[in-house]
Structure 1
Amino acid sequence: MNTKKPTLLILAAGMGSRYGGLKQLDPVGPSGETILDYSIYDAMAAGFGKVVFVIRRDFEEEFKQIVGARYEKLITVEYVFQELTTLPDGFAAPAERSKPWGTGHAILMAQEVIQEPFGVINADDFYGRNAYEQLATFLMKSEEPHTHTMVAYKLRNTLSEHGTVSRGVCQTNELGQLLSVEEVTAIAKDGSGAKAEDRNFTGDELVSMNLWGFQPSVFTALENQFRTFLSEKGQEMKSEFYIPFVIDEEIRAKRAQVKVLETDSQWTGVTYREDKPAVQAFIQNLISQAIYPSNLHTQPTI
């Protein structure tokens, strides 16, 4: 069993553009808490021992002052940078390209600061306490260097009332191991289920919300596959190197396996502007159940 606490890698390089500036990080809690505050609170309670933020250099100081400073006295915090120009030797980004290289590239940027098992989350997604507990338990118990994990949600627990969403629909085997992740777009809520063009879903389907748990061996896979990606698509303006593609290739080549952990937690996030009141009400309901304190910032763990 691993005795070292796992690390939480937070993909935050898109925060500046996504929110129109870090100062506009929308509070969803009654005392000004953001979704990220709840995520780190849950992760620390579950046993994570370090936080690594993937950010861009153009908002480094602002991010550290507004976001990072909240946590640096509570948990080890490190920063790594995702830039278009951070590429392996022999490769260069097209001069006209402005789109980031994708989640696989973002995770690869943490290779020098993570030597232990680690979880990966999006900075603006609310995953729920149970998801972090399952993830931390798996990472602390797992001793197989090429067995990774993913926390999967029931589709109905990830939909928006205000528009369609894209979700990675998971296929698993009888052992609960991931076989594939199929990206399905334009999924709309439909009664207790969902639909997407000519497909109907019961709502019980397992979907990926980019909540992964990795052994450090994943960095070798990322590095090798990123070189292949750049060779084939590096001169395109919008091609991205997504982590599900990397994992799918590792599974197909039998170099790794992924254990799927199922959670009944409700995922939430602000996909549409109209989602915010529902997220606020959702958080308030958890506070009324005493799952969270009314003021997260006064707690010794946050």
Structure 2
Amino acid sequence: MDGKMADLTLVILAAGLGSRFGGDKQLAGLGPNDETMLELSLRSAYKAGFTRAVLVIRPELAASLDLLLADKLPQGFHCDYCIQSLDDLPEAVTHYVDLAARKKPWGTAHALWSARKQVTGPMAVINADDYYGDSAFSLLAQGLVKSASDWMMVAYPIHLTLSENGGVNRGLCEVKNGKLVDVAEWLDIQSHANELVGTFAGKQQTIVSDALVSMTCWGFNADIFAVIEAQLTDFIIGYGREPKSECYLPSVVQARLQQNLTSEDTRNVNVSVAQESWYGVTYPEDANWVKQKLFEKLAAV
């Protein structure tokens, strides 16, 4: 392992409430030996050359995670926590929100913002409750080392990311020549009358079956935090008083792409396409299917 690889940090977004799932998905044992998705991701990251993880959590998860991870981390691999707190917002907009009325975190962009004091270099960013496969972490590590100034993502074909039990939210991507051109958050995507449909900008529209989507499998460097701060500020001004509003990482990436149109200092968002299936649980009914798929994939490994 070279010196650059040793500096890579994995940020794991693990503060979600799992409201549709009905519990803390990040603690659900879904692997062939009852491992959580979080444990499987840490194992994959270590294989790819990551030596540190930062888990963004709610405070009440710390004790359960301590028990879960005790004696399970590879030697030399460090894992730290940071808390996603509702009042940790850009100072200029704290007066726009009524925290007493807020019951859920502010979304994935805010979750990564919570880690800004603990991550100062290249980072991969994933969800705690998703399975990405070993190759996704290898692609992230290779991409971050190859081009330290660019951002990147590992994209998944949308048909590999759906649930049979209800609609899902995905960041749909436009990619040209291996570069991300556009990413937009679509809601409630599901099969309907032999085609995929989802809601974008308040309207239900069709989606091509081979579309690439973001599954929160990103590579960034520390300059993302300035972009998040600007996006969070705009978001809080526009939507901060809506109790269920969320600011998503694809919106932050889209803001970076828009900056490229007006700046001489352009930064690419490089795209690698996943080589393995993604697995995740959105609804309780998804759990048994995911368990079976992970058993088939990993039991003999």
Q: Output the TM-score relative to the length of structure 1.
A: 0.84
Which amino acid counterpart does residue 281 of structure 2 have in structure 1? V
| 1:142 maps onto 2:170 in alignment | no
**One of 91, 103, 113 as aligned partner of 2:118:** 113
Note closer, same or farther for the CA distance 1:188–1:233 as it changes in structure 2 (3 Å cut).
closer
Within the candidate set 214, 217, 227, 2:220 is matched to 214
* Bigger Cα displacement from structure 2, 180-189 vs 60-69: 60-69
Q: What amino acid does structure 1 have at the position aligned with 2:245?
A: S
Query: Whole-Å Cα distance in 2 between the matches of residues 82 and 36 of structure 1?
Result: 17
* 287 and 229 in structure 1: CA distance in 2 versus 1, 3 angstrom threshold: closer
Deviation at 1:21, TM superposition (A): 5.9
| Residue aligning to 1:181 | 183
Counterpart code for 2:227: A
**Structure 1: segments with no counterpart, 5+ residues:** 293-302
CA deviations over 1:221-249 (Å, ceiling 9, x no partner): 11233233333333332322211111111
Amino acid in the other structure paired with 2:174: Q
Q: Over aligned residue pairs, what C-alpha RMSD do you find? A: 2.7
- Which residue among 22, 27, 38 is the counterpart of 2:29? 27
Structure 2 spans left out of the alignment, 5+ residues: 199-203, 261-265
SS in 2 for 1:253: helix
Residue pair 1:2, 1:143 contacting (<8 A) in 2 also: no
Whole-Å separation in 2 of the counterparts to 1:276 and 1:5: 35
Which residue in 1 is equivalent to 2:201?
none
1:3–1:168 CA distance, 2 compared to 1 (3 A): closer
Alignment partner of 1:101 is 2:113: no
> Structure 1 pair 185/235, CA: closer, same or farther in 2 (3 Å)?
closer
Q: Does 1:263 align with 2:269?
A: no
**Residue matched to 2:154:** 151
| Paired amino acid for 2:103 | S
CA–CA distance in 2 between the matches of 1:281 and 1:132? Answer: 22
Would the aligned equivalents of 1:154 and 1:264 in 2 still touch at CA under 8 Å?
Answer: no
Partner of 1:297: none
The answer to whether the aligner puts 1:133 opposite 2:144 as a matched pair is no
Whether the 8 Å CA contact 1:5–1:140 is kept in 2: the answer is no
Match of 1:237 in 2: 243
- Give secondary structure in 1 for the equivalent of 2:152: strand
* Change over 3 Å in CA distance of 1:16–1:196 after alignment to 2: closer
SS of 2:216's partner is strand
The separation in 1 between residues aligned to 2:270 and 2:297, in whole angstroms, is: 29
How far does residue 166 in structure 1 lie from its aligned partner after superposition?
2.4
Q: Which runs of 4+ in 1 moved over 4 A?
A: 15-24, 197-202
- In structure 2, the partner of 1:66 is 68
TM-score by length of 2: 0.85
Number of positions where the alignment pairs a residue of Structure 1 with one of Structure 2: 286
| Cα distance, 1:61–1:130 mapped onto 2, change above 3 Å | same
